[in-house]
Amino acid sequence: MSHALELFLELAAIPSPPGSERAVADRVLAELRDLGLDATEDDAGERIAGDTGNIIARLPASGPAVGGTPIFLCAHLDTVPPTDDIAPVVEDGVVRNSRDTILGADDKSAVASMLAAARRMVEENRPHAGVELLFTPKEEVGLEGAREVDLESLESPVGFVYDHAGPIGEVVLAAPSSISIDARFTGRAAHAGMHPEEGRSAIAAAAHAIADLRLGRLDDETTANVGVIAGGTARNIVPEHCTVVAEARSHDDRKLADLVHEMTDSFTFAASVAECEVAIELDDKYRAYRFRADDLPVRLAFEALAACGFEPRGVRAGGGADGNVFTARGRPCVNIANGMTRIHSADEHIAVADLDAMVDVTLALVDAARRA
């Protein structure tokens, strides 16, 4: 059993929903310190209402005639919340969960591959221009850990995340901006059987608003979704409160702004018609990016993938990753597919061969950066 597979099986079995990554973080810290690396954890956990901060470990540049470009590698420690135990098994060369919930390949497969590559670098005394390993919490709920990273503490000018569910070889050249929309409707409670006319249903107002929204894929750049609606207190009470949790994404920031304005107008209008009030909160989760083929991190990614026998190809993603945050803040960070499949579902899986291949890709990235 390869070290990457061994690590992944161990990490995947440890539940780590957003805000509760402590046990996984401790295992990662133990692995880093076993390699003799300088590993630190910041205080981001306190600022994002979690139990874990960002973990950073450094491998100082080494080898003859050291030059090139230092790089950082990033993966997140959290998963979407599992609905059952996680009991990973290997069947026909593929890792799956034997229970009916997520596996956690997103993103613990990346964590395992990066750590396994770091071990080989240390044990084989491989020359490199400097590598920093960054592990973030609360990625799944809005890239919260990444948003708290002190980028001035990183020496590397460019980075890579392995957080794209696709076949190895895909490199995300463009990712969208995302804005979350939380709408809280307030009506008036009343007995639903005795005095319904005195009530003002917050749920009915929210429902009317949602019915007017354009949802799903709006064009090849833009999507919108209502993910949660919750309200009411009892079957026989006209509901006084209802919350709607929605989002909008687009590769075009003008389209995104217009869509968010349209959605908030729908909420406001539906509330007024129902004689309710609505409070709307917007959160700019992350900003879009677009790389060119000749940008340094793209060139390094393509070179490393080709060196490992994969056909590099640029793709456009519909989701965000920690790389969106770093790129927007001046540290270009490319997202690379690592073979995980059907993430966030009970059929989530990853091939053992892909886990091991990403160790080789990581080492090839390090080699390419040393020559850059």
Catalytically active residues, by annotation: 78, 139
SS3 content of the chain, % helix, strand, coil (to 5): 35, 30, 35
Phi and psi, residue 184, nearest 5°? -115, 110
Helix or strand (DSSP H, E) at 211: helix 202-212
Name residue, tokens 């401790």: 26
Question: 108: buried, middle or exposed (CB in 10 Å: 19+, 13-18, 0-12)?
Answer: buried
**Parallel, antiparallel, or unpaired for β 55-59 and 131-136?**
antiparallel
Contact 164, 333 (CB under 8 A): no
Rounded (10°) angle between helices 3-12 and 105-123: 140
Q: How far is CA 289 from the centre of its chain?
A: 15
**Separation between Cα atoms, residue 99 and residue 88, nearest integer Å:** 8
Per DSSP, the three-state class of 141 is coil
Contact 239, 182 (CB under 8 A): no
**Separation between Cα atoms, residue 333 and residue 76, nearest integer Å:** 14
**Half-sphere exposure for 161 (CA within 13 Å, toward CB):** 31
**Separation between Cα atoms, residue 246 and residue 205, nearest integer Å:** 15
Per DSSP, the three-state class of 302 is helix
**Separation between Cα atoms, residue 193 and residue 189, nearest integer Å:** 12
Name residue, tokens 């450094």: 58
Name residue, tokens 């073979």: 339
Closest to 280 measured CA to CA, from 181, 142, 178:
181
Q: Say if residue 107 is preceded by a cis peptide, omega within 30 of 0.
A: yes
